Structure 1
């Protein structure tokens, strides 16, 4: 069984940045990546300083190379079994039967976007179906933008996307009517509100929204508000319990990334649902620094105990 200081579950920006940071502190690190990056459907990653618009796959290839340059081992695999082991460590079992032993586990598994249950949405996710104006709003600037209103985020999205286009239409799908003050704001900005629900989304060019009354509308891009669900299988196997949030599900930690499970840490959008690519990478660096300090403290305690034992003997 291979033994490491830290096993990082998840090889996205947070996990790879953490691997680089830990490797630079001469920690033995393994990154276990299941190969399901959240932003894979997108053409480019944005707000990435020095790498603006880089293809998500290319960003991960560069990140892997940098992590390997500092000694990190990266395996393309899924953790099938996870449990605490003796002396405060952990054993992670991969699908191929390989067991990995680690003193600490860093969960950087990211999140899954749970889209509204409207036929046709998934096919356009990451291209003309958007959720974040900062990630992909520039690409839709000046176009006809729709907002699928499924909850309280619809108002926020409508106002933000209105900054990018004079043509914004809100389609009321599964939410209560807008309050009087909200409607006043929408009217003042020229944002149209169309009763729903939306039954289907299709179209090879502009998106065609088929409404419940049989009418249809066309937009160039459609904003939605997914539920953000942290991937928590490994965390739960290690004894953790995920926390609920109005926007979805996440792993709760202290400010440094330490979870309720001793020896298990979390980084990236698995603990901060709003974290974009660069925020997740920065969080990976910060959490890795805290994790390394934790290991240093444990190493010092061990060295002191051994010295005392030798002195007594």
Structure 2
């Protein structure tokens, strides 16, 4: 006889998506375990924005509040990482980095992504405070400042950033870096007052915790109070791929339906791991939607088992 899994659901990742899913499932009386590495993507930021009723809240405080709510409904949290996963719908086994294992009927992966901050020296230590990615998250806070957009690995997003940030400041400069602008793209940016500088960025200037300018390879500098860049993003989807989840040929991301269901029965994914542009509030919503789908899936199988036992 097969061993009954210890948990109904294991959620890998304890950020906005994972905690929101955990809260919904725990309130629905499911046995839920969250396995979290403790390294949220937005940890360097002092505030998060655009989250109704939580605008300006410290990301650390937000997660602490989420954990308190989750465990108040008998949810459990382990601070660890998952090294291996195997099994099938209704019976998965996850091996943790200390060699221990947990079993579950269903899995939700909400492990987020990492930003590649190696493009420009000085960017990493200023990330989330003076160097940003999302205009909707941090644009308002730098209104009227000297904003520089550095052309990043994500070409289209870099150009879009320059246009969006013009709404916040009259002093927006787009430093092309390795991006070759087409004439139509240049015309559109210049038409709304974006200054364009052709050049390669070598590093950022400023004492620790400050930013004064961007240094270019020709020796010139661009005075700047804030920098935006669209770096390459790396979804933490190793676990999903190991489980055999389908990946889009176009985006390179693991594919899901509108509720986070992957191509593998019993496996869901939510948040930045499958939706890199998701803000905190949309990641939380995705986690909640996945939780409802997972709970329905659990109920369906519970009823099937009850009917089979009755017959």
Give TM class, smaller chain: over 0.9
| TM alignment of 1:17-166, pairs within 5 A | 17-84=20-87, 88-115=90-117, 117-150=119-152, 151-166=155-170
Q: CA RMSD in A?
A: 1.7
Asked if 1:211 corresponds to 2:227, the answer is no
Distance 1:135 1:274 in 2: 11
Distance in structure 1 (CA, Å) of the matches to 2:288 and 2:160: 30
1:175 matched residue in structure 2: 179
Once the 2 structures are TM-superposed, how far is the Cα of residue 244 of structure 1 from its aligned partner?
A: 6.0
1 CA distance for matches of 2:157 and 2:99? 44
Q: What TM-score comes out, normalization by structure 1 length?
A: 0.92
Deviations 1:172-215 (A, max 9, x none): 10111x22222222222221111111111231233321112121
What is the rounded CA distance, in whole Å, between the counterparts of 2:29 and 2:159 in structure 1? Answer: 48
Shift of 1:228: 2.2
The correspondence for 2:295, drawn from 265, 289, 292, is 292
SS of residue matched to 1:16: helix
Match of 1:224 in 2: 229
C-alpha separation between the residues in 1 aligned to 2:249 and 2:197?
31
Distance 2:280 2:256 in 1: 19
Residue 95 of structure 1: how far off its partner (Å): 1.6
Q: Where does 1:183-262 land on structure 2 (aligned, <5 Å)?
A: 183-204=186-207, 205-243=210-248, 249-262=252-265
CA distance in 2, matches of 1:259, 1:282: 17
Shift of 1:240: 2.7
> Contact 2:90/2:104 (CA < 8 Å) preserved in 1?
no
TM-score normalized by the length of structure 2: 0.93
Structure 2: 5+ residue runs without aligned partners?
A: none
Which shifted more, 19-28 or 210-219?
A: 210-219
Q: Helix, strand or coil: the match of 2:283? A: helix
- Residue 6 of structure 2 aligns to a residue in which SS? strand
Contact 2:246–2:262 (CA<8 Å) still a contact in 1?
no
Distance in 1 between residues matched to 2:275 and 2:282, nearest whole Å: 9
> How far apart are residue 58 of structure 1 and its match?
0.6
Q: After TM superposition, give the deviation of residue 242 of structure 1 in Å.
A: 4.3
* Structure 1: 5+ residue stretches without partners: 309-313
Report if aligned partners of 1:148, 1:172 keep a CA contact under 8 Å in 2: yes
- Between the aligned partners of 1:245 and 1:63, the Cα distance in structure 2 is 34
User: What number of residue pairs does the alignment pair up?
Assistant: 304
